Chains A and B, each alone.
Chain A
Amino acid sequence: MKSRWLILALIAVAIALPWGFYDWQHHRHDGFLISVLSQTGMMIILALSYNMLLGQAGLFSLCHATFFGIGGYAMVHFLNAAGKDELPVPMEFMPLLAGLSGLGLAILFGAMATKQRATAFAMITLGIGELMATAALMFHHFFGGEGGVTTDRMIDNSLFGLTYSSGIQVYYLIVAWTLIAVALMYFLTLTPLGRMANATRDNYERAQFIGYDPRMVRFIQFALSGFFAGIGGGLYAITYEIVTFDALAAPLSANALLMAYIGGTTVFGGPILGAILITLLQSGVSLLSNSWLVYVGVMFIGMVIFAPSGLAGIIQAHGPIQRAGRLGRLTLPYLRLVVPTLALLLGFVGLVELMSFLTIGAAQDKKLVLFGSAIDVHATMPWVVASVSLVVGALWLRFEAAGFHRIWEHLSAEVRR
Chain B
Amino acid sequence: METLLISLLNGLVYGMLLFMLASGLTLIFSMMGVLNFAHASIYMLGAYLAFTISQFVGFFPALIISPILCGLIGAAIEIWGLRRAHHNGHIAELLFTFGLVFIIQRVVQMTWGMLPMAYRVPPSLDFPLFVLYGSNFPAYRGFMLVISAAMLLGTWLLLKKTRVGLIIQAALTHPHMVSALGHNVPRVFTMVFAGGCVLAGLAGVIGGNYQTTEPGMADSMGPIVFVVVVFGGLGSLAGCFVASIVMGMIQTFAVVIDYSIADLLRPLGLAISGDTLLTEVLTVPVARIGALLPFVMMVTILFFRPRGLMGMRDT
Q: What's the nearest-Cβ distance from chain B to residue A216, in Å?
A: 16
A360 touches B109 (CB 8 A): yes
Give CA–CA (A359, B227) in the complex, Å. 33
Take A301-B96, A304-B92 as given contacts and tell me if A355 and B230 are in contact as well, using a CB distance cutoff of 8 Å.
no
B88 touches A124 (CB 8 A): no
Residues of chain B in range 85-106 having any CB-CB distance to chain A below 8 Å: 85, 88-92, 94-96, 98-100, 102-103, 105-106
Q: Is A117 interfacial (CB-CB < 8 Å)? A: yes
Give CA–CA (A13, B76) in the complex, Å. 46
Give CA–CA (A118, B33) in the complex, Å. 10
Residues of chain B in range 180-235 having any CB-CB distance to chain A below 8 Å: 219, 223, 226-227, 229-230, 234
A355 touches B103 (CB 8 A): no
B306: A residues at CB distance < 8 A: 115-116, 120
Q: What's the nearest-Cβ distance from chain A to residue B165, in Å?
A: 24
A140 touches B315 (CB 8 A): no
B227 touches A293 (CB 8 A): no
A138 touches B114 (CB 8 A): no
Segment of A35-43, A128-136, A220-228, A235-243 engaged in the interface with chain B: A128-136
Q: Is B298 interfacial (CB-CB < 8 Å)? A: yes
B110 touches A363 (CB 8 A): no
Residues of chain B in range 267-291 having any CB-CB distance to chain A below 8 Å: 275-277, 280-281, 284, 288-289, 291
Q: Is A58 interfacial (CB-CB < 8 Å)? A: yes
B90 touches A118 (CB 8 A): yes
A127 touches B298 (CB 8 A): yes
Take A294-B103, A355-B111 as given contacts and tell me if A120 and B315 are in contact as well, using a CB distance cutoff of 8 Å.
yes
Across the interface, A359 reaches (CB within 8 A) one of B90, B109, B277, namely B109
Give CA–CA (A116, B234) in the complex, Å. 12
Across the interface, B303 reaches (CB within 8 A) one of A112, A116, A117, A305, namely A112
Q: What's the nearest-Cβ distance from chain A to residue B212, in Å?
A: 17
Q: Is A337 interfacial (CB-CB < 8 Å)? A: no
Across the interface, A119 reaches (CB within 8 A) one of B29, B88, B223, namely B29
Q: Is A90 interfacial (CB-CB < 8 Å)? A: no
Give CA–CA (A278, B177) in the complex, Å. 46
A122: B residues at CB distance < 8 A: 35, 94
Give CA–CA (A296, B298) in the complex, Å. 31
B299 touches A127 (CB 8 A): yes
Q: Is B174 interfacial (CB-CB < 8 Å)? A: no
A360 touches B114 (CB 8 A): yes
Q: Could you mark each residue 290-311 of chain B with 1 if its beta carbon is under 8 Å from any beta carbon of chain A, else 0? A: 0110011011001100100000
Take A127-B230, A134-B292, A305-B84 as given contacts and tell me if A120 and B100 are in contact as well, using a CB distance cutoff of 8 Å.
no
B81 touches A305 (CB 8 A): yes
Q: Could you mark each residue 12-51 of chain B with 1 if its beta carbon is under 8 Å from any beta carbon of chain A, else 0? A: 0000000000000000010001110000000000000000
Across the interface, A301 reaches (CB within 8 A) one of B94, B103, B105, namely B103
Take A131-B299, A138-B292, A139-B281 as given contacts and tell me if A120 and B96 are in contact as well, using a CB distance cutoff of 8 Å.
no
A356: B residues at CB distance < 8 A: 109-110
Q: Is B115 interfacial (CB-CB < 8 Å)? A: yes
Take A142-B277, A355-B110 as given contacts and tell me if A128 and B299 are in contact as well, using a CB distance cutoff of 8 Å.
yes
A60 touches B230 (CB 8 A): no
Q: Is A300 interfacial (CB-CB < 8 Å)? A: yes
B114 touches A363 (CB 8 A): yes
| B234 and chain A: residue at smallest CB distance | A120
B229: A residues at CB distance < 8 A: 123
B113 touches A301 (CB 8 A): no
A352 touches B99 (CB 8 A): no
Across the interface, A261 reaches (CB within 8 A) one of B89, B95, B112, namely B95
A296: B residues at CB distance < 8 A: 102
A297 touches B103 (CB 8 A): yes
| B296 and chain A: residue at smallest CB distance | A131
B106 touches A294 (CB 8 A): yes
Q: What's the nearest-Cβ distance from chain A to residue B288, in Å?
A: 7
Q: Is B2 interfacial (CB-CB < 8 Å)? A: no
B98 touches A257 (CB 8 A): yes
| A141 and chain B: residue at smallest CB distance | B277
B96: A residues at CB distance < 8 A: 301, 304-305
Give CA–CA (A134, B254) in the complex, Å. 15
Across the interface, B314 reaches (CB within 8 A) one of A112, A116, A127, A250, namely A116
A54: B residues at CB distance < 8 A: 91
| A299 and chain B: residue at smallest CB distance | B99
| B107 and chain A: residue at smallest CB distance | A294
A300: B residues at CB distance < 8 A: 95, 99, 102
Give CA–CA (A140, B102) in the complex, Å. 30
Across the interface, B291 reaches (CB within 8 A) one of A123, A134, A291, namely A134
B226 touches A363 (CB 8 A): no
Take A139-B281, A294-B102 as given contacts and tell me if A118 and B91 are in contact as well, using a CB distance cutoff of 8 Å.
yes
Across the interface, B280 reaches (CB within 8 A) one of A120, A140, A254, A352, namely A140
Take A257-B98, A297-B103 as given contacts and tell me if A119 and B110 are in contact as well, using a CB distance cutoff of 8 Å.
no
Q: Is A327 interfacial (CB-CB < 8 Å)? A: no
Give CA–CA (A204, B186) in the complex, Å. 27
Give CA–CA (A294, B314) in the complex, Å. 35
B299 touches A60 (CB 8 A): no
B226: A residues at CB distance < 8 A: 123, 126-127
B29: A residues at CB distance < 8 A: 119
Take A139-B281, A257-B98, A301-B81 as given contacts and tell me if A119 and B295 are in contact as well, using a CB distance cutoff of 8 Å.
no
Q: Could you mark each residue 338-354 of chain A with 1 if its beta carbon is under 8 Å from any beta carbon of chain B, else 0? A: 00000000000000100
Interface residues of A (CB under 8 A from B): 54, 58, 60, 112, 115-120, 122-124, 126-128, 130-131, 134-135, 138-142, 250, 254, 257, 261, 291, 293-294, 296-298, 300-301, 304-305, 308, 352, 355-356, 358-360, 362-363
Interface residues of B (CB under 8 A from A): 29, 33-35, 81, 84-85, 88-92, 94-96, 98-100, 102-103, 105-107, 109-115, 219, 223, 226-227, 229-230, 234, 275-277, 280-281, 284, 288-289, 291-292, 295-296, 298-299, 302-303, 306, 314-315
Subset of 29 A-B contacts with CB under 8 Å: A54-B91, A60-B94, A112-B302, A117-B315, A118-B315, A119-B315, A120-B314, A122-B35, A123-B35, A124-B230, A124-B302, A126-B226, A130-B227, A131-B295, A131-B298, A131-B299, A134-B291, A134-B292, A138-B289, A139-B280, A254-B102, A261-B95, A291-B109, A293-B102, A294-B107, A297-B102, A297-B103, A300-B99, A355-B111
A115-B306, A118-B91, A352-B110 are known contacts; what are 12 more A-B pairs with Cβ within 8 Å? A119-B29, A119-B34, A123-B229, A127-B227, A138-B292, A141-B277, A294-B103, A300-B99, A305-B88, A308-B92, A362-B113, A363-B115
